[in-house]
Structure 1
């Protein structure tokens, strides 16, 4: 049982995956979006089918005020489209999708800033940030969901 973290971007969609114990998130790479994150939907469905994902955690880029702006509305539409495509993939024997993963949105405010900071702390040059910042943001999004889930299980 694993979870997938997704950081939406117009250039790249970053992916992160949990360990089977649902304790740690690690980067899984990027999907090139070529200006539109919706182009990454089919490759994400393929990834999910290949990795037996139970839950997909999509970053919700709320405004600092906590309100949903244009980007958050787009993330909600993307997640809804992902749910539809997963349902279709479940019905298609070619995918071999045994279960339809739950798709959840989580607040991702400041994850990109944190990801840049972590990369700088790791001595990754600022020119090298761009290709990895999306997957590092996906790690932060997923790790926050894993930590929240762990706390709820302990209560």
Structure 2
């Protein structure tokens, strides 16, 4: 469940950007002044135990982050398909995990059209060989998502995207297993990325 970001001053401080895929999850950070987003790390997606969700929540807690921006993949026509549902489900899981830790940190979905394409292009222009892209492209895409969001926040003077609420279902159990099955890998592969995510 999502709701439009409130028309209010956006959170000030360290923020995380997240690029969700079926295989990997990219994570990026920005500085306290919200000037520059930088790639941080790439996590293996674990839909059975959601250990990656807990790693991100722990990072939020450790850094005292004030917001998490999750990329919402849309088609060029602005439509949302299986990948968008996957990103929304992931954001809801993360919101639930943060809530279970007593952290009132907003998780917002922000349009991320072409983030992976841009990340690949930037890596190529930086001189990195294509075979090495896979190691870092997700975190570079996450940085692109986060940079876009913080730039929009400054330009508009308000928060952006849609805030996600914790899923209306039990969160992660003590052993880290989700109480409901993880979403199946989407079958519509009209556009794909190395991350296994459908764009």
Same fold, TM exceeding 0.5? yes
Structure 2 gaps, min length 5: 1-12, 159-199
Partners of 1:6 and 1:58 within 8 A in 2: yes
RMSD after superposition: 1.8
SS of the residue 1:67 aligns to: coil
Give the alignment of 1:110-149 within 5 angstroms.
110-149=114-153
Structure 2 CA distance for aligned equivalents of residues 142 and 22 of structure 1: 10
Counterpart of 2:157 in structure 1 is 153
Q: 1 or 2, which has the higher helix percentage?
A: 1
Structure 1 gaps, min length 5: 91-98
Structure 1 CA distance for aligned equivalents of residues 46 and 118 of structure 2: 24
The one of 102, 105, 108 equivalent to 1:104 is: 108
Structure 2 CA distance for aligned equivalents of residues 37 and 147 of structure 1: 34
Structure 2 CA distance for aligned equivalents of residues 10 and 71 of structure 1: 9
**TM-score, structure 1 length as denominator?**
0.88
Partners of 1:61 and 1:72 within 8 A in 2: yes
Structure 1 CA distance for aligned equivalents of residues 69 and 47 of structure 2: 22
Partners of 1:9 and 1:37 within 8 A in 2: no
In the TM superposition, structure 1's runs of 4+ consecutive aligned residues that sit over 6 Å from their partners are none
Shift of 1:74: 1.2
Question: Are 2:81 and 1:69 equivalent residues in the alignment?
Answer: yes
SS of the residue 2:68 aligns to: strand
Shift of 1:146: 0.6
Q: 1:109 to 1:38 in 2, by over 3 A?
A: farther
User: Which shifted more, 31-40 or 78-87?
Assistant: 31-40
SS of the residue 1:53 aligns to: coil
